[in-house]
Structure 1
Amino acid sequence: MPQFFIEAPAGIGREAKQQLMIEVTAAIEEAFRMSPDIQVWLREYSGENVAYDGRLYGDEPMRLVCFLEAPEFTGEDVSRAMTKRINDAIEVAYEGIANTAETLILMNRYPLQDAGFQGRLQSDDPELVEAIKRLNGA
C-alpha cells in the first residue's frame, strides 16, 4: 500500500524510467516488507511549469521532490537506508538532467485508522495490523 510520487523534469528514456521504478520499489519493499502492493508514480514537468523562488527553471537544472505516502512505522534507520537507496536511483536516472544533489523526499506516514482501502479502514484488516506490528518491532 505505500505510494511513492516523483516530481521530476521530463527527459529520461523508457529504460531509465523502468530501472528507476524497479530500484525505488525495491527500496520501499525492503523498508516496509509489503510487496506486491507498492505503487510508484512519476510526474514529469517541463522547466516552464516549475519555478524556483518565483523564477521559471531553465537556467539551472531542476530539483526533484518526492512524496512517500505510507503506513506509520518507527524505524529511523530503515527510513535512512530507504532514503539513501531511492536517492541513489534518482541520481543514476537523472544524471545530467536534474539537480539530484538536492532531491527532497518527504515522508507522510499514516496510522492505519487514517487510511481507507476497499471501503474499509486499514485498521480493520487483521493481516495489515499484524504486518505493521512486526514492522515496528511490537
Structure 2
Amino acid sequence: MPQVLIEAPTGIQPGAKETMMREISAAVDEAFRIPDVRVWLREYPAGNVAQDGRVGAEPIRPLCFLEVPELHKLDAKRAMARRIHDAIAAAYSGLANTDETLILMNHYPLENAGWAGRLQSDDAGAVAAVRQLNA
C-alpha cells in the first residue's frame, strides 16, 4: 500500500535506477511493514523544470512524495528519510542537486484510503497492521 513518487531529471543509468528503487522500497518497508510498496519514477528533461520561474537556472533538485498510512514514530520517519535521501543521492550523483532533495510525507488515516473498492478502515487486517505500527 505505501506509494513513493520520485520526480527527478532524466539520465539515470538502469542499474542505478534499479538499485535506488530497491533501496527505497526496503527503507519504506522497514518503517511501515506493510506489503505492496510501490516506487514510481517520473523523469523530466531540464527544460521542463523551473526554479523561481527560471527554466534551467540550476541543476534539478529531486522531489520525493510518500503517500502512506499514518506513522507516529519520529525515529522511524527520520531513518526512512535518511535512507531515501541516500538512495536518491547515489543514483543521481552528478545529474542533480541531491544535497537539497525534498521528501514530503503525506500520511493518510485508513478512512481516507480506498483499495479494491473499499475503504482500508473497513479491512480488519489493515486496521490491525496500522494499530501495531503505531503502538
Give the shorter-chain TM-score range.
Answer: over 0.9
Q: Distance in 2 between matches of 1:135 and 1:74?
A: 8
Is the aligned partner of 1:48 residue 2:47?
yes
Query: Which stretches of structure 1, 4 residues or more, deviate above 6 A after TM superposition?
Result: none
Structure 1 residue 61 displacement after superposition:
1.3
Q: Percent identity?
A: 59
- Residue 105 of structure 1 corresponds to 103
- Residue 61 of structure 2 corresponds to 63
Partner letter of residue 52 of structure 1? Q
Aligned length: 135
Q: Distance in 2 between matches of 1:125 and 1:25?
A: 23
- Gaps spanning 5+ residues in structure 1: where? none
CA RMSD after TM alignment: 0.7
Q: TM-score by structure 1 length?
A: 0.96
Q: Distance in 2 between matches of 1:60 and 1:96?
A: 13
- Residue 12 of structure 1 corresponds to 12
Matches within 5 A, 1:111-130: 111-130=109-128
Q: Distance in 2 between matches of 1:13 and 1:107?
A: 26
Greater share of residues in strand? 1
Q: Distance in 2 between matches of 1:101 and 1:135?
A: 30
Q: Distance in 1 between matches of 2:117 and 2:127?
A: 16
Q: Distance in 2 between matches of 1:114 and 1:52?
A: 32
Q: TM-score by structure 2 length?
A: 0.98
Q: Distance in 1 between matches of 2:63 and 2:39?
A: 13
User: Contact (CA 8 Å) 2:2, 2:66: kept in 1 or not?
Assistant: yes
- Residue 26 of structure 1 corresponds to 26
Q: Distance in 2 between matches of 1:54 and 1:27?
A: 34
SS of the aligned residue for 2:101 comes to strand
Partner letter of residue 3 of structure 2? Q
